[in-house]
Amino acid sequence: MISILLVEDDNALAMELASFLKENNYSVDWAENGKAATHLIGSNHYDLCLLDIGLPDCSGFELCKTFRAWFHNPIIMLTACDSEDNIVNGLEVGADDYVTKPCSLRILHSRITSQLRRKKWDDRQELKSLLSGELLIDILHRTISCNGEVLSISNTEYELCVVLAKSDGQIMPRELLLDRIWDVRGQFIDDNTLSVHVSRLRKKLGLYCDKSYIETIKGIGYRWNFMVVGKCHENTI
């Protein structure tokens, strides 16, 4: 279960947020001041922190900066003030997102899930290899093999395969897929040639294993259809 630390001095709001999060299958610990929050975050694992700026014993900005010395999971700051200075200060001290109170619980939930997805993606960048069905992607050596046979693929086809496999079964819009490939290799792939690269990759996968690894979602993008198991680097926690 995903664990969230809620740091909020408004008891009524804290109870409302905690109740909502628990209804959505999150585990929630609540701290009403900076001292309690520091104790909790130092002695427990949390996947995400919701941090109020206006705490009775310290500034949420200072607390966020302190947490960032060892807490590397997402921090979403909560505040009743949406001034540009506050937003900039929050992001500069290490916050990942900024939500103005009062806020829609649905919007807050979407911000939380977005940050958790991004963290999951970042974590997967440390993977050494990916195993999906009969397919083995060796990230260290940049090879893809199926049933022991190493596939002859281009750099672009390799990057496509890795990005799709790391997407955890989520639909990858064409625009996002293009951005990922650009970011990884610094090479230009336009929308017109993306379909060609995907088609070639699918054909090569089909020679040794299964063409259905990659599903086309008409008008949107692509999805990886098989479960993926990753092996991390030895120094990755």
Which CATH number belongs to the domain containing residue 225 in this structure?
1.10.10.10
Domain finish residue from 68, 93, 123? 123
> What is the distance between the alpha carbons of residues 211 and 67, in angstroms, rounded to a whole number?
46
Burial class of 122 by CB neighbour count within 10 A (0 to 12, 13 to 18, 19+): exposed
Q: Does any domain span residue 237?
A: no
Q: Which residue has the tokens 């063409």?
A: 211
Could you tell me which of 3, 4, 14, 38 has the C-alpha nearest to residue 101?
14
200 and 96 together in one domain: no
Residues 148 and 183 in one domain: yes
pTM: 0.55
Distance between CA atoms of residues 156 and 142, nearest Å: 11
- For position 118, what pLDDT does the model report? 76
Residues 109 and 200 in one domain: no
pLDDT for res 182: 60
Number of neighbours of residue 24 by Cβ within 10 angstroms: 12
Place of tokens 């975050």: 41
Can you give the pLDDT at residue 184? 43
Mark whether 10 and 44 lie in a shared domain.
yes
Task: Among 106, 123, 140, give the residue marking a domain's end.
Answer: 123
Per-residue pLDDT of the chain (237 residues; tens, 9 = 90+): 999 999 999 999 999 999 999 999 999 999 999 999 999 998 899 999 999 999 999 999 999 988 987 788 899 999 887 778 888 888 888 898 889 888 889 999 999 998 888 777 666 556 688 899 999 999 878 899 998 889 988 878 888 998 899 887 888 888 878 877 764 444 455 677 888 889 989 999 988 887 689 999 999 999 999 988 875 544 333
pLDDT the model gives residue 121: 61
The pLDDT of residue 236 is 36
- The residue assigned the tokens 């690894």 is 213
pLDDT for position 123: 61
Whether 149 and 136 share a structural domain: yes
pLDDT of residue 178: 81
Beta pairing class for 48-52 and 3-7 = parallel
Q: Does 16 share its domain with 111?
A: yes
What residue numbers bound the domain in which 175 lies? 125-232
Q: Are residues 80 and 133 in the same domain?
A: no
Domain final residue pick, 123, 148, 175 = 123
Same domain? 94 vs 25: yes
Number of structural domains in the chain:
2
One domain, residues 18 and 115: yes
Indicate if 107 and 154 belong to the same structural domain.
no
Q: Which long-range contacts link 14-22 to residues 24+ away (Cβ below 8 Å)?
A: 16/105, 17/50, 17/105, 17/108, 20/105, 20/109
Q: Report angle CA 135, 181, 202 to the nearest 5 degrees.
A: 35
Q: Is residue 51 located within the same domain as residue 136?
A: no
Domain harbouring 110, CATH code? 3.40.50.2300
Is residue 37, in this structure, part of any structural domain at all? Answer: yes
| The pLDDT value given to residue 190 | 67
Are 18 and 99 within one domain?
Answer: yes
